[in-house]
Amino acid sequence: MAASDFMDLPLEPEARWLQLRDLVEKRLDERFDMNNGGNEPYELLEYVQILSAAAEELGIGELSLISPSNIREDFDPFRASVAALATRLSLRLSPKNSTDSVALSRPTRKEILCNIEALRSMISRSDISEENKAKASNIFDHLQILILAPRTDIARVGILLAAIGAFAVGTTSLLADLPPAIGTISALIGADKLEEESEQALIEDSRKRIQIQDLRETPDEVTNNEIHDGSNDEVPF
């Protein structure tokens, strides 16, 4: 796999490994079809090495390595252990709750993206090492992805902003504006979240009022009213 294949993986270790596993599984299945219903030993070994190394590096579990000489015999049990680990991790990961995210408005999203570019420019003009500049650029890329998502994960944004703020520690005055710009992004997200919660509260209140209105007239009352109304009708002879 190319290094670029790892760039868009989630930040959380469990989700990161699960998505990597999906990529490797898809790649193996595609090669299976291309090889007319079979995989080469090196393809199986690559599958084993990638997922084992990733699980160890991310600290989410341990997968036993397979000897290259026994790759065909031991591959199916290994793949089953991969499926078992994926199941445990999938059950452990909680679904995204709307309280942990926000749908940013178009103006807010635009302003945040402008602030991100300003932060990126500050970093690039600073005296930090090229290695740290590359790390910061990667963080900014991930941050932009979160801001452009239909719902922005507030916790993940906070983690990334904290990582960006760390670059300002012990550096020159060129990065003195980092904290205020980071604070602006946090405030913009917080304002949209408060507005979203207020709108949701109004919707819930309206829904409750409709339910109360519906309960004011019971089915028995409706039936009695219909019978009463019909009793006054004159029957022509």
- Tokens 């709750």: give the residue: 97
pLDDT of the residue at 113:
95
Cα gap 140→233, rounded to integer Å: 76
- Please give the average per-residue pLDDT across 111-123, as a whole number: 93
pLDDT of the residue at 90:
80
Q: pLDDT grade, residue 166 (50/70/90)?
A: confident
- Please give the average per-residue pLDDT across 186-215, as a whole number: 81
Cα gap 87→104, rounded to integer Å: 32
- Tokens 């109360």: give the residue: 212
pLDDT beyond 50 at 211 = yes
pLDDT of the residue at 33:
64
pLDDT beyond 80 at 117 = yes
Arithmetic mean of pLDDT over the chain: 80
pLDDT beyond 60 at 111 = yes
Q: Is 53 helix (H, G, I), strand (E, B) or coil?
A: helix
> Which residues partner with 102 through β-bridges?
152
pLDDT of the residue at 116:
94
Transcribe 179-227 into DSSP letters. HHHHHHHHHHHHHHHHHHHHHHHHHHHHHHHHHHHHHTS-HHHHHHHHH
Q: pLDDT grade, residue 237 (50/70/90)?
A: very low
Q: pLDDT grade, residue 106 (50/70/90)?
A: very high
* 71-92 vs 13-34: helix crossing angle, rounded to 10: 140
Q: pLDDT grade, residue 204 (50/70/90)?
A: confident
Q: Is 153 helix (H, G, I), strand (E, B) or coil?
A: strand
Phi, psi at residue 175, to the nearest 5°? -105, 15
Phi, psi at residue 2, to the nearest 5°? -80, 155
Q: What is the pLDDT of residues 122-155, one digit of tens each?
A: 898 888 889 888 988 989 998 998 899 888 888 8
Model pTM?
A: 0.51
Q: pLDDT grade, residue 94 (50/70/90)?
A: low
